[in-house]
Chains A and B, each alone.
Chain A
Amino acid sequence: MKSGMRKAETGEDGVLAHVPLPQKILSGLSFPGSGLLKGLVVTIRNFAGSYFEKDRLTTEQYPEERPVLPENARSFPFLIYDGEDPEAGMRCVSCKICEKECPPQCIYIIQDRDEAGKALKRPRVFDIDISVCMSCQICVEVCPFDSIRMDQDYELSSYDRFGSLMLDKPKLLKSNTYYHRIHPTEAAETDARLEADRKKKEAAAAAKAAAKKEPAKPAEGAP
């Protein structure tokens, strides 16, 4: 659509080219007042053209027509979970790096603890105040667990200044499938890296287990 419009604009002397009206009308004539007529021809050509050439009208009629967002478009952060259960598959381990790095300090985390008071590797509270968030993506860049990513949802306006702009954990948690849908390239890259890490870890664990089973041979040639 955009390229079609570009093409329509590049006519000779800046006048739209492929219009069914005679292109060169009046352009060779010059008499007192001919400038006014040329101007009128340009406007009427645009007027008539807007009814016949759909690519002239660049307006997106928003609620009905929605823009196809570029892949890197971002609004506010969200948390990724793997699998079906948001709580079980949550990648976040409550390391609080994002909370510390956040320039406007809009992230608020409380680590979860079991009955004994031992810290668990997951947040109990994870809030992002999107009325404060400036969409800088620093939280995404610092997260070592690929757990926080930028969302593309832009329809966030509400009648309530406080409650509905404070996103809590249930609102922030979105599935990895959703992440794949909005940022396919980035998500594939992340998944590949996580998979590689897991394999490496497994290989390392297997090697360790093997080493444990067979006590290390004494080095050959040693006395």
Chain B
Amino acid sequence: MTEFLENAPIALLAWFLGILGSFGVPGWMLEIISALIVIGTVIGIFLGLFALASVMERKILARVQNRFGPNRVGPFGLFQPVADGIKMITKEDLVPRGADRIVHFLAPVVMMVPALLVLAILPYGRGMVPAELDAGILYFFAVGAGTEVAVFMAGWGSNNKYSMLGAMRAIAQLISYEIPLVMSGITAAMIAGSLMPSAIVAAQGGFIFGFIPQWFVLTPWGFTAGLIFYIGALAESNRSPFDLPEGESELVAGHLTEYSGFKYATFFMAEYVGMFAICGMLVTLFLGGWQAPLPFLTIIPSWAWFLGKVCFVAFTMIWVRATLPRLRIDHLLAFAWKFLLPMSFAAFFSAACWHFAGRGLVAWLLSLAIVAIPYLAFGIHFSSRFAISRRTYRFSE
């Protein structure tokens, strides 16, 4: 049963292609059909996740605030995305008169394409990678950076001061957080000795003493780097508390101000798909990818583990959104450059020490010290600097 479920997706594809082959479909066409089926499945699953997330996010936020959330459309309100989709499609698609029409039109497309492209290199299960790239991690970050262009296109093309301000904030934020994100992601690649996602997942396989999984997140450097990656992922996917580019209290809706109807829906979709993609990357790099957490749990197929972990990380992102207020733009950038970047260097160094100290208990403690000392030092430094005190006025008194 386990074997069957584990191999079910691949076996199903092989079976279907076998049938096509028996009808005399040539080999090159089979390859194209196979690729199209894989692409369709991956995109379909992630758009399904987007639909689910859009309603679950509202329900979870509601529950945190002791409300019910959407529960009218269908059972438990699960058909809400359908209603939202119909609403979005039938809405009027407004383009401002002063807008750069081509850029305004292209921005949602340019936003959507990288969000879908990065899905290609994630290992969804044992041997289930749509595109097995040697430099998959590099590809992920390089393509993922394309969304920044889209955000700026949206801000520029709208010809609206709020859109423009939002886009400029977005560029500042995305570029700032890209660095700690990549720096922390690199640690995992460094320890695994490969930029290939499936190799990084393989490096996290197996169990110490037969029950402790060898996920990178369970090492001090991996925990630190994973946390930095998580914070960076929040910022990259424009999610609260880093949702300044569309901070409605000061910027209407940032770069989304002049978008309505299906273009807005496309932005929304790209944001969620991008969020799931970066959750998938976090799971691959630090949470052991499709590996089961305990040996006896391997009866659950690997792709289910991957999906479950991605959903869990997405849930924590919603949880964080329900908890933390939005930052101020200078605090946001200071946090990236003055705290996250040095800490990601510490994690990097710590990972190197862990590797060269033999990956044992001593290495574990050494690596803990290397990340804990700077963390506490930063904590003391910042808490003394930003201690709550009586406000002093320089000019008005």
Binding site for B on A (CB under 8 A): 31-33, 36, 39-40, 42-44, 46-47, 49-51, 56-59, 61
Contacts and interface: CB of A to CB of B under 8 A. Distances in A.
Contacts of A32: 375-376, 378-380, 382-383
Nearest to A53: B66
A47 B324 contact: no
A57 B66 contact: yes
B344 to A, nearest CB: 16
A40 B63 contact: no
Given A32-B379, A32-B380, A46 B64 contact: yes
B65 A46 contact: yes
B68 A57 contact: yes
Task: Tell me whether chain B's interface is mostly helix, strand or loop, or mixed.
Answer: helix
Contacts, number: 48
A31 B379 contact: yes
Given A32-B378, A43-B319, A43-B323, 16 more contacts: A31-B376, A31-B379, A32-B382, A36-B323, A39-B324, A43-B64, A43-B322, A44-B319, A47-B64, A47-B322, A50-B63, A50-B66, A50-B67, A51-B63, A56-B66, A57-B67
Q: Which 5 A-B pairs have the closest CB atoms?
A: A32-B379, A43-B323, A50-B63, A56-B66, A39-B323
Contacts of B60: 47
Contacts of A40: 319-320, 323
Interface of B: 60, 63-68, 71, 319-320, 322-324, 375-376, 378-380, 382-383
Contacts of B383: 32
Contact of A59 (B68, B376, B380, B382): B68
Contacts of B66: 46, 49-50, 56-58
A47 B379 contact: no
B379 to A, nearest CB: 2
A132 B364 CA distance: 77
B337 to A, nearest CB: 18
Contacts of A47: 60, 63-64, 319, 322
29 contacts: A31-B376, A32-B375, A32-B376, A32-B378, A32-B382, A32-B383, A36-B323, A36-B324, A39-B323, A40-B319, A40-B323, A43-B64, A43-B319, A43-B323, A44-B64, A46-B64, A47-B63, A47-B319, A49-B66, A50-B63, A50-B64, A50-B66, A50-B67, A51-B63, A57-B67, A59-B67, A59-B68, A61-B68, A61-B71
Task: Tell me whether chain A's interface is mostly helix, strand or loop, or mixed.
Answer: helix
A47 B59 CA distance: 10
Among the interface residues B66, B380, B382, which one has the most CB atoms of the partner chain A within 10 A?
Answer: B66
A44 B60 CA distance: 10
Contacts of A39: 323-324
A49 B323 CA distance: 16
A43 B319 CA distance: 7
Among the interface residues A42, A43, A57, A61, which one has the most CB atoms of the partner chain B within 10 A?
Answer: A43
Contacts of B375: 32
Contacts of B71: 61
A33 B340 CA distance: 13
A58 B60 CA distance: 16
B159 to A, nearest CB: 39
Contacts of B324: 36, 39
A46 B382 contact: no
Contacts of A36: 323-324
Nearest to A8: B66
Contacts of A57: 66-68
Nearest to A42: B323
